[in-house]
Amino acid sequence: MRLLLLATRYSLLATAFVLCTNAALAWGGTGHRVIAALAEANLSPKAKATIEKYLDGQSIVEFASWMDHVRETPEYKYSNGWHTAPVDAKLLHTDSIARKTGDAITATIDSIKTLVDYQKKRPETVALHIKFLVHMIPDFHCPGHVSYSSITYSFDITANGKAVPYHDIWDSHVVDAHKLSLNQWVKRLNTLSVDEIHKIRAGSPRDWFHQNALDSLVIYKWVKPGAKLNDDKYTDFIAKSRPLTESQMQKAGYRLAGVLNALFGR
């Protein structure tokens, strides 16, 4: 009986850990795979072949959520804070406000610097930083991943009778409500002209994050802590949220491809 109780307790703790870990996934598994697939569709043949060589023949899509799965492990716990980033009162990210342990912006910049001369690096180092970029660039485009200095951005709401973190609405609910396949998502988002893509890719990761901070500020006007979005209200909110969500996913996919092409397509 004692062993049974211990086993039951262990099982419950393990389940709770998985649920907590899944709740923290940025963009959710679907969103990350969609963004990676959009990026892959816009990789140059040389960049795609070079990247897959370092990933042992696998697609970047297979590593879209890899950082979420390893963030609590002893080996990669140092990267736990690299999924969001802060902005100051002017909605700018600067080194002066970067976390001591790093954040999605500083870590992205560091990974890009590491991969500039990737031919001189160990293959496992190159593979690691590819995996970082495939996850972090999408992460800092998520509306719920901007840490504002004057806004409480971590709070719960009620969605169809269930208490959920508002963050999860943006990571998963809006994306999953579409119920599209991966190919359908890519077809839906991969619609910009060459000139439009070039315009989206202009600037630096800090510039992109600043624009996300500007565009995403509105989500904290739409919903306040403790709000109840049930039935029609929830449906209406999801519909209102789709344009911003899809725009950010689209930008993330094209920009990720642009960074990878610049590094590996030369």
Helix intervals (H) in the chain: 2-23, 28-41, 45-54, 66-70, 104-115, 123-139, 166-168, 174-176, 182-189, 194-201, 205-216, 219-222, 232-264
Angle (CA) 166-29-48 rounded to 5° is 135
| Number of domains comprising the chain | 1
Q: How far is CA 151 from the centre of its chain?
A: 20
Dihedral angle, C-alpha 134, 136, 140, 142, nearest 10 °: 60
Query: What pLDDT does residue 16 have?
Result: 35
Question: Is 125 within a domain?
Answer: yes
DSSP 109: H
Q: Using one digit for the tens of pLDDT, what is the confidence trace for 47-94?
A: 999 999 999 999 999 999 999 999 999 999 999 999 999 999 999 998
Query: What pLDDT does residue 26 have?
Result: 58
24, pLDDT greater than 70: no
Question: Is 16 within a domain?
Answer: no
Question: Is 6 within a domain?
Answer: no
148, pLDDT greater than 70: yes
Question: Is 12 within a domain?
Answer: no
Query: What pLDDT does residue 266 have?
Result: 81
Q: Kindly state the helix (H) or strand (E) to which residue 228 belongs, with its residue range.
A: strand 228-229
> At 153, is the pLDDT very low, low, confident or very high (cuts 50, 70, 90)?
confident
Could you give the angle at which helices 123-139 and 104-115 cross, rounded to 10 degrees? 140
CATH code of the domain in which 239 resides? 1.10.575.10
Question: Is 1 within a domain?
Answer: no
Question: Is 145 within a domain?
Answer: yes
Query: What pLDDT does residue 98 have?
Result: 76
Question: Is 171 within a domain?
Answer: yes
Which domain does 214 fall in, by range? 28-264
> At 263, is the pLDDT very low, low, confident or very high (cuts 50, 70, 90)?
very high
Q: Which two tokens stand for residue 61?
A: 């899509």
Question: Is 2 within a domain?
Answer: no
